[in-house]
Amino acid sequence: METAFTPLQSLSGGVLIGLAAVLLMAVMGRVMGATGILAGVMSPSDRSDFAWRAAAVLGMVSGPAAVWAMTGALPAVQVPVSTPMLLVGGFVVGVGVTYGSGCTSGHGVCGMARLSPRSIAATLTFMVTTFATVFVVRHVVGG
């Protein structure tokens, strides 16, 4: 499996995520953790809380439509694993998010920027686990 090297797109995406995180903290006093935002859409505490969370989720999922509008083509998506593996992976991520009290965006982007010891530990844990998983899948199992 080959990984595409896209430094400009990656840099642009990182800048936009960082800017969104800073603006959300500055304007709303909220941490931009995707799973926390989605959980708040599913069970909002009040109407104003739902509105900004729904807008954030809409912004996250409308990216392909924006690419299509600007380029005339949808972005190519390749999923190199089976549907059952996607379901298992989603379950494992859900368990990790629950026990880790947050996701990669909340801990890795926002928590690290605030020098939160808990977020630094969480980010190190999921990064080491990711590196180990990729190594095992690519070089031991041979996927």
**H or E element in which residue 127 lies:** helix 117-135
Buried b (16+ CB within 10 A) or exposed e, 76-93: eeeeeeeeeeeeeeeeee
Q: What is the pLDDT of residues 55-79, one digit of tens each?
A: 989 988 898 889 899 999 988 888 8
User: Per the domain annotation, does 117 fall within a domain?
Assistant: yes
Q: Is the residue at 1 inside a domain?
A: no
Mean pLDDT within 5-22: 89
- pLDDT at position 69: 93
Q: How far is CA 24 from the centre of its chain?
A: 16
What was the pLDDT predicted at 70? 92
Amino acid 3: pLDDT: 67
Q: Has residue 25 been placed in a domain? A: yes
Count structural domains, the chain. Answer: 1
Q: How confident is the model at residue 2 (pLDDT cuts 50, 70, 90)?
A: low
pLDDT tens digit sequence for 16-49: 988 988 999 899 888 888 888 888 899 888 888 8
**43 falls within a domain:** yes
56 contact partners, CB below 8 Å, separation of at least 6? 24, 32, 37
Q: Please indicate, yes or no, if residue 92 is contained in any of the structural domains.
A: yes
Does the pTM exceed 0.85?
no
pLDDT score recorded for residue 87:
93
What does the pLDDT read at residue 102?
83
- The verdict on residue 2 lying in a domain is no
Q: Residue 42 belongs to what domain range?
A: 7-141
Q: Which residues, other chains included, contact 17 with Cβ-Cβ below 8 Å and sequence gap of 6+? A: 32, 105, 109
Question: CB neighbours of 143 closer than 8 A, spacing ≥ 6?
Answer: 1, 80, 137
Residue 136 domain-assigned? yes
